[in-house]
Each structure stands twice: as structure tokens, then as C-alpha cells.
Homo-oligomer: A and B are copies of this chain.
Amino acid sequence: MVVTVIGVGLIGGSMALGLKEMGMASQVIGVGRNTSSQAKALALHIVDVVLPLDEAVKKADIIYIAIPVDATIDVVLQVMDLIHDDQIVIDAGSTKFALCTAVKDHPRRKQFVASHPMWGTEFSGPEAAVKGAFAGRACVICEKEKSSESALNIVENLYKKLNMHIIYMNAHNHDVHAAYISHISHITSFALANTVLEKEKEEDAIFEMAGGGFESTVRLAKSNAAMWAPIFMQNKENVLDVLNEHISQLRKFKASLEKENMDYLIELIEKANQIKRILK
């Protein structure tokens, strides 16, 4: 199979490496945002060749789209206008409702599979792409009933070969859950970084003292604005819902400290400990 990857960054690049490693792609054609990312993707052997979008789409069996979500809708529609009967289009975006709504009446909707492989790091660009990235992680496929059986089979097979387990849900539910397990973690991390940068003047002390807790909570704050700002904006309502609840939970900790109410503080922490139920 010839696979065209549109967006050769963290996700698209890792996908290209995985598909080649698993022998699923005989050739990977890259479409990059600019000459610099294209050159990097070639140099790092993430893609075999770089072509303009039209040409890259024409030559592919599968077109895999992994670009910021504010650009995804237009590019998916543009690609779906270009494909013929045997081609399949997949996206990897972190939001699904707006996209699924935008493509729902496209004559080639059946050849599109809306997916979200649940993997990422705080890094971006072709240099952030890694082999074996997706193994053991979940991949959400949305509105599977709107894709043809053959397209769905090919995409499921592709993700399974990368050792992902597939979950099916509608696009709205995906966006609600993603707000909880991914989007809010990133906002918290960004806000925590800004808290430290705003108030703590002795950065050297922090740098020297920082232990595992700080590193793991603030790590996500290195994440790329071009990727994340559109995600938060496109999933605004769910993210605001979760963010409001999160602020109100923080206020409970604040109240327990202000009132020196040790019992309440312990109750809040012990309730939080129940997250063990959900985390492995």
C-alpha cells in the first residue's frame, strides 16, 4: 500500500514510521506544511518522498491526515473531493464532533474513517516522531456506521497491527471524554507553568529542587500552541464544563486550608484517591 501522510509531525511522523516498520506501507508520501518540515521528514526517513497535496493524494491508497484540528476540516474535505472509489481517508485529530458534522453529507463519506489514536508527547514536529509510538494505547473510531465496511476493516487492521486497541463511540461522546482525560490535563499543566513563571522568581532553586512530581505534572506545559489552542477552542463547551468543575474542586482545597479544616482536607484527598479505580 502507498500511504500519503498529510502532516509529518509528532503523530503523522510516528504513524509513517509505524506503518513502514510493520510492513503495511510500501511507500510513504509526505505532505508538509513548509519546506523545513518536509526536509526534516525526508532526512529522518519518515517519508520516502515529498509531493504537493494533489499529487500525493492521487498516488495513495490511504491518505492519513494528522494536522492541527483547525486545519483538518478543510483539508479532509479537500482530499475527499480529490479521491476516487478505492481510496481511504483517515484523520487523527483530538476533536471529532465538528469534523464528523462537517463531512457527514459528503458523497464520499463512506471512504472516510474518523479516528483518534490516544498517544502523544509534549514535543512536536518531524523530530518528535518515534517508532513504536502507539503500541498498547487506545484508538477511538467515531461514527463507524458512516464508514464502509471495507474502509473500516482496513483502518481497524492498520491500528491493530500497531498494537492499539480500538474503542468505538459517537463524536460527541468522544469530545466529552477527551476533555476529561486529555484536554483538561493540558490546561492544568499550562496554568501551573504560568503560576510558577509568574510568581516564583528564584527559578534556579526550582530547577535544582524539582523532583518527579513537578516534572510529571508540568511536562505537558511544553506542548505546542499550534496544536492545542485549536483543540481547546473546537471543544470549547466540554472543556469549559470540565474547567469550571476543576476550579470549583480547587476552591474546596482552598476553603479547607483557609478554615484549617483538617477533616475536610483529608476527605478531599481520600476522595481523590479513588482515582485508583480508573488508573491502572
Q: Judging by beta carbons under 8 Å apart, are A199 and B245 in contact?
A: yes
Known: A167-B205, A202-B177, A243-B254. A216 touches B213 (CB 8 A): no
Bound Cα distance from A272 to B206, whole angstroms: 15
Q: How far apart sit A269 and B194, CA to CA, in the bound complex (Å)?
A: 9
A118 CB contacts on chain B under 8 angstroms: 209-211
When distances are taken between beta carbons in the complex, the residues of chain B under 8 Å from A241 are 199
Kindly state the interface size class of chain A when it binds its partner: 35 or more
Q: CB-nearest residue of chain B relative to A263? A: B229
A14 to chain B, nearest CB (A): 13
Q: Which residues of B contact A202 (CB under 8 A)?
A: 173, 177
User: Is A128's CB within 8 Å of the partner chain B?
Assistant: no
Could you tell me if A266 and B225 are in contact, using CB atoms closer than 8 angstroms? Answer: yes
Question: What's the number of copies of this chain in the assembled complex?
Answer: 2
A272: B residues at CB distance < 8 A = 189-191, 193-194, 197, 221
Q: Is A219 an interface residue (CB 8 A)?
A: yes
Q: Is A37 an interface residue (CB 8 A)?
A: no
A161 to chain B, nearest CB (A): 19
**A197 nearest CB across to chain B (Å):** 6
Interface residues of A in 242-274 (CB under 8 A from B): 242-247, 249-254, 257-258, 260, 262, 265-266, 268-274
User: A251 contacts which of B165, B188, B208, B247 (Cβ < 8 Å)?
Assistant: B247
